[in-house]
Amino acid sequence: MSEARGTNRSPRVVVAGAGSIGCFVGGVLAQAGHDVMFLLRAKTADEITQNGLTLTDYGDLDVALSPDCFAMSADPSCLADADIVLVTVKSGATEGMAALIAAYAQDTAVVISLQNGVENAALLREMLPGWDVRAGMVPFNVVWRGGGRFHRGTSGDIAIESGNGQVARQLSVADLIIRERDDMDAVQWGKLLINLNNALNALSGLPLREQIGDRQWRRLMAAQMAEALAVLKVGRVPCINPVAKVPMFLVPWILKMPTWAFRRVAKTMLSIDPTARSSMWEDLNKGRETEVGELQGKIVQLARNAEMSAPINEGIAELIREVEAQGDGSPMWDARQVQTRLRAM
Question: Do residues 83 and 195 share a domain?
Answer: no
Domain annotation covers residue 167: yes
Provide the pLDDT for residue 1: 38
Provide the pLDDT for residue 6: 41
Can you name the residues that pair with 35 across neighbouring β-strands? 12
Write out pLDDT tens, residues 15-51: 999 899 999 999 999 999 999 999 999 999 999 999 9
Q: Provide the CATH number for the domain around residue 233.
A: 1.10.1040.10
Provide the pLDDT for residue 167: 95
Domain annotation covers residue 160: yes
**CA 82/CA 108 separation, integer angstroms:** 9
Give the domain-ending residue among 128, 163, 182: 182
Question: Do residues 87 and 149 share a domain?
Answer: yes
How many of the other CB atoms lie within 10 Å of CB of 102? 15
Provide the pLDDT for residue 298: 96
Contact status, residue 29 vs residue 177, Cβ threshold 8 Å: no
Number of domains, the chain: 2
Task: Examine the pLDDT at 7 and tell me if it is beyond 80.
Answer: no
Q: Provide the CATH number for the domain around residue 49.
A: 3.40.50.720
Provide the pLDDT for residue 244: 84
**CA 84/CA 68 separation, integer angstroms:** 20
Phi, psi of 171 (to 5 degrees): -90, -25
DSSP one-letter string for 192-257: HHHHTHHHHHHHH-S-HHHHHTSHHHHHHHHHHHHHHHHHHHHTT-----SSSSS-GGGHHHHHTS
Write out pLDDT tens, residues 74-94: 999 999 999 999 999 999 999
Provide the pLDDT for residue 41: 93
Write out pLDDT tens, residues 236-283: 999 999 988 899 999 999 999 999 999 988 887 778 888 889 999 999
Average pLDDT for residues 63-71, to the nearest whole number?
Answer: 96
How many of the other CB atoms lie within 10 Å of CB of 273? 17
Question: Do residues 125 and 24 share a domain?
Answer: yes
Provide the pLDDT for residue 272: 87
Give the domain-ending residue among 159, 182, 205: 182
Domain annotation covers residue 105: yes
Provide the pLDDT for residue 197: 97
Domain annotation covers residue 208: yes
Write out pLDDT tens, residues 125-157: 999 999 999 999 999 999 899 999 999 999 899
Provide the pLDDT for residue 59: 87
Domain annotation covers residue 5: no
In 3D, which of 248, 227, 230 has the Cα closest to residue 239?
A: 248
Question: Do residues 155 and 213 share a domain?
Answer: no
Q: Confidence band (pLDDT; 50, 70, 90) for 308?
A: very high
Domain annotation covers residue 222: yes
Write out pLDDT tens, residues 184-228: 999 999 999 999 999 999 999 999 999 999 999 999 999 999 999
Task: Examine the pLDDT at 96 and tell me if it is beyond 80.
Answer: yes
Question: Do residues 255 and 213 share a domain?
Answer: yes
Domain annotation covers residue 175: yes
Question: Do residues 236 and 141 share a domain?
Answer: no
Question: Do residues 178 and 208 share a domain?
Answer: no
Q: Confidence band (pLDDT; 50, 70, 90) for 8?
A: very low
Question: Do residues 152 and 21 share a domain?
Answer: yes
Give the domain-ending residue among 182, 213, 240: 182
Question: Do residues 135 and 266 share a domain?
Answer: no
Provide the pLDDT for residue 343: 94
Domain residue limits at 248:
188-344
Question: Do residues 148 and 250 share a domain?
Answer: no
Classify burial at 306, counting beta carbons within 10 Å of its beta carbon; exposed 0-12, middle 13-18, buried 19 or more: middle
pTM of the predicted structure, to 2 decimals: 0.91
Provide the pLDDT for residue 270: 78
Question: Do residues 213 and 174 share a domain?
Answer: no
Question: Do residues 201 and 158 share a domain?
Answer: no
